């Protein structure tokens, strides 16, 4: 199964942009790149996903490398509420079964 | 509030006990999932149900027994667990169907399980 690699932790200051990297060098053509985050004492929540093109939504942007071997989640203006563990996930569906590969996640600390 | 509820939120059990975890989703989804989150380890997918049929079992020991009576409810029956099974057990749901790779999963708050 394809795996992801993320830094264990990152720090940012409030209202500054944050770039969270993820390496997935063994990604296959059918793998979608999903990002979820987990706030303290909560279950994970969806942030964004993409396949080949860069994606934007109200929460974040996802920049995908041309060879798809890496991606970057971009939080344009970090707030204290963005402090969480961010997971980069490859999702593949084969024959109706679900394949999910979680990284260890990056713990983001946001300083006031 | 994600629309996915889990009970109980906390559970302490002995190794000889039998208990069940319950998950309920109010989102009209057709796929439901059980995950295990241990300290310092990545989230592990345990089971997947799609339209009440189990479609994934990631080599989970038989002391964990899932049950999906309908698309809205998912149970995880526990018996003769080990202390190393102590973890946060998370339930999730998604629309399900063939396009699962683009599905968004909605997670419940989890059940914190401690096995003594």
Asked if omega into B8 is within 30° of 0 (cis), the reply is yes
Residue B43 near residue A102 (C-beta atoms within 8 A): yes
The beta-carbon neighbor of A98 closest among B43, B56, B104 is: B56
Quick one: pLDDT at residue A90?
87
The beta-carbon neighbor of B107 closest among A31, A45, A97 is: A45
Q: Do A45 and B2 touch (CB under 8 A)?
A: yes
Which residues have a Cβ under 8 Å from the Cβ of B37 and sit 6 or more positions away?
B43, B44, B87, B88, B89, B90, B110
Nearest to A27 by CA among A52, A45, A48: A52
A6 in helix, strand or coil? coil
Quickly tell me which residue has 């860069």 as its tokens: A54
Q: Is the pLDDT of residue B97 over 80?
A: no
Percent of residues, chain B, with pLDDT higher than 70: 96
Q: Give the least confident one: A29-43, A70-84, A87-101, B3-17.
A: A87-101
A81 in helix, strand or coil? helix
How far is it between the farthest Cα atoms of chain B? 41
Quick one: pLDDT at residue B64?
97
Q: Is the pLDDT of residue A55 over 60?
A: yes
Distances (CA, A) of A88 to A3, A7, B11, B66: 10, 11, 29, 27
Quickly tell me which residue has 């995880």 as its tokens: B76
Q: Is the pLDDT of residue A98 over 80?
A: no
Distance CA B64, CA B31 (A): 19
Distances (CA, A) of B33 to A41, A58, A97, B43, B106: 19, 26, 12, 12, 10
Quick one: pLDDT at residue B40?
76
pLDDT mean across residues, chain B = 91
Please, what sign has the CA dihedral across residues A54, A56, A61, A62?
A: negative
Quick one: pLDDT at residue A30?
82
Residue A9 near residue A107 (C-beta atoms within 8 A): yes
Q: Do A44 and B43 touch (CB under 8 A)?
A: yes
Q: Give the least confident one: A57-66, A84-93, B58-67.
A: A84-93
Quick one: pLDDT at residue A3?
82
B43 in helix, strand or coil? coil
Percent of residues, chain A, with pLDDT higher than 70: 90
Quick one: pLDDT at residue B98?
60
Q: Do B42 and A31 touch (CB under 8 A)?
A: no
**pLDDT-based confidence at B1, cuts 50/70/90?**
confident
Quick one: pLDDT at residue A91?
82
Structure token pair of residue A108: 């983001």
The better pLDDT of the pair B64, A89 is held by B64
Residue of B nearest to A98 (CA): B56
B67 in helix, strand or coil? strand
Q: Is the pLDDT of residue B39 over 90?
A: no
| DSSP secondary structure, A87-109, as one string | EEEEEEEETTEEEEEE---EEEE
Q: Does A57 touch chain B (CB under 8 A)?
A: no
């Amino acid at each position: 199964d394809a795996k992801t690699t993320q830094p264990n932790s990152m720090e940012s200051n409030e209202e500054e942009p944050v770039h969270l990297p993820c390496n997935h060098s063994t990604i296959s053509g059918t793998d979608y790149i999903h990002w979820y985050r987990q706030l303290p004492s909560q279950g994970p929540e969806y942030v964004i996903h993409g396949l080949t093109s860069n994606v934007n939504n109200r929460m974040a942007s996802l920049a995908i490398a041309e060879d798809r071997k890496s991606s970057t989640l971009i939080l344009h203006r970090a707030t204290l509420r963005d402090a969480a563990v961010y997971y980069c996930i490859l999702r593949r569906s084969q024959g109706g079964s679900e394949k999910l590969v979680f990284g260890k996640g990056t713990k983001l600390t946001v300083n006031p | 509030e994600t629309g996915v509820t889990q009970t109980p939120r906390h559970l302490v059990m002995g190794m000889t006990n039998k208990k069940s975890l319950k998950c309920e989703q109010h989102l009209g989804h057709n796929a439901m999932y059980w995950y295990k989150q241990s300290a310092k380890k990545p989230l592990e997918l345990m089971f997947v149900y799609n339209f009440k049929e189990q479609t994934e079992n990631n080599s989970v020991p038989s002391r964990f027994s899932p049950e999906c009576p309908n698309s809205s409810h998912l149970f995880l029956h526990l018996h003769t667990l080990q202390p190393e099974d102590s973890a946060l057990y998370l339930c999730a749901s998604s629309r399900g169907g063939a396009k699962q790779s683009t599905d968004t999963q909605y997670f419940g708050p989890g059940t914190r399980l401690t096995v003594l």
